[in-house]
Amino acid sequence: MARRPSTATVGRPTIRDVARHADVSVGTVSRALNDRAGVHPDTRRRVRDAVSALGYAPDEAARELAIRRPVAVGLSVAHGHRRLTPFFVLFLEHLLDGLASSGLRVRDVPTGPDGLPTEETDAVVLLGAHPDDPRIAHLQALGRPFVLVGHRDGVRSVAADDVAGGRLAAEHLLRLGHRSLLHVTGDPHGQAFGDRHRGFREALAAALGEDRAAPVLVCDDLTTLGAYRALRRYLADAPAPTAIFAATDELAVGCLAAAADLGLRVPHELSVVGFDDLPEIGVGLTTIRQDFGALARVTIELLLEGLRGDPVRAVRLPVHLLARGTTAERG
C-alpha cells in the first residue's frame, strides 16, 4: 500500500513506538514481551513500563502472520454433536483465540456419517468423542497427532478432573447433612458423565456405605428443558430427595425450575449442585467450577507437543467447589 513511513504515532501504538519509548530495539521488545530468554531484567522492566505507559497491545493479525507454523489443525466434532451448547461455545471461543495467537491455522473438519474426519490436516482436535469413537483409532492408525478434549488414558487428552468434581459435590452435600440424594446426568457411558458419577458414588459409598447408593436420573436431552421434564416425570412417583447433584449447570437449572413448579423451596427443601460454572446460565448456582481457559490452553500445548512428537500425556485439570445459593443444610 506504499504508505509513506509515518513517524507520527497515530492510532494504535506499535511495537516500534514501544521500542522508541523504552529506548531499545524492536527485537528486544518482542523478546521481552514473549518471555524469551536473554533479556536483561532492567531492560525487561523498561519495556514493561513503556508498554503500560503507551497502552500497547500486540496486533494479533501481524503476530499470526509472522509466527505462523506451516500446519493446519482440524476441529473434528462428532457427527450430530450439538455445537450450540454453552460448553461448546465457551470452549471454542477460548480455543480459537489461543490457536490464532499460537500461529496455528484452524479448519473446521466435517465428520462424515462414519464419524471420521473427511479432510486432511496436520493435527486434529477431537470434540464430543465417545469412549469408542472410531475417530480415535482412525487417527492413531494414521499416525496423525490429535488431542482429545475429554479424558482417556494412553491418549493425548485434556479434561477437567471429573471424578474429583463428583466427589467434591458429594462431600459438600454430605457435609450439609444430606443423606437422600439424587444424581441427574446424561449418558453415564460417556467419559465425563461416567467419571462425575463415579466420583460422586464413591464418595457417597465411603461415607454412607455401599448400600446407600443414590438413585440416578439419566436425561437424554441435556438441556434445561430436558432436565426439567425428566425430573418432573421422575418425581411423579418417587420420593423427593433433599439434594441433587446435576452433572451440568444446564441440568441443574432445569432441576431448579422443576423444584420451583413443584413448590420445593431451594435451598431449604432441596439443595442443588451443578457442574461447569457457566456464565449467565447458572448465576447463583452452587457448582463445580471447571476452567475453560485452561482447557483451551492445555489443548493447544498438547497439540504442539503432538506436532513435535513428544510423549503422550493425559491431563486432568483441577476443579473447585463454588458454594453459592442453591445448597444449604438439610432442612
List interacting residues with DNA (CB under 7 A).
1-6, 11-12, 14-16, 23-31, 33-34, 36-40, 42-43, 56, 58-59, 62-63, 65-68
Q: How far is CA 253 from CA 10, 85, 189, 284, 312, in A?
A: 49, 14, 23, 10, 37
Strand runs labelled E in 78-231: 105-109, 123-127, 146-149, 157-160, 181-185, 216-218
Residue 5 CB, nearest approach to a copy of itself (Å): 4
* 218 makes contact with a copy of itself (CB under 8 A): no
**Binding map of a copy of itself across residues 151-170, x = CB under 8 A, - = no contact:** --------------------
Interface with a copy of itself, residue 108, by CB under 8 A: yes
Nearer to a copy of itself, 228 or 275 (CB): 228
Is 107 a binding residue for a copy of itself by CB under 8 A? The answer is: yes
Member of 27, 279, 318, 325 binding a copy of itself (CB under 8 A) = 279
Q: In this structure, which amino acid lies at residue 33?
A: L
The amino acid that residue 216 corresponds to is V
Stretch that binds a copy of itself, among 8-16, 18-26, 133-141, 198-206 (CB under 8 A): 8-16
**Closest distance to a copy of itself from the beta carbon of 111 (Å):** 14
Nearer to DNA, 34 or 118 (CB): 34
Q: Does 237 bind a copy of itself (CB under 8 A)?
A: no
C-alpha cell at 255: 432441576
Q: Which stretch binds a copy of itself (CB under 8 A): 102-110, 141-149, 171-179, 201-209?
A: 102-110
Amino acid at 94: H
Query: How far does the chain reach from its first CA to its final CA, in angstroms?
Result: 72
Q: Select from 33, 54, 78, 106 the one that contacts a copy of itself (CB under 8 A).
A: 106
Within 8 A by CB and 6+ apart from 47, the residues are 18, 22, 24, 28, 29, 32, 33, 39
Query: What is the three-class DSSP state of 143?
Result: coil
Nearer to a copy of itself, 92 or 149 (CB): 92
Q: How far apart are CA 83 and CA 128, in angstroms?
A: 9
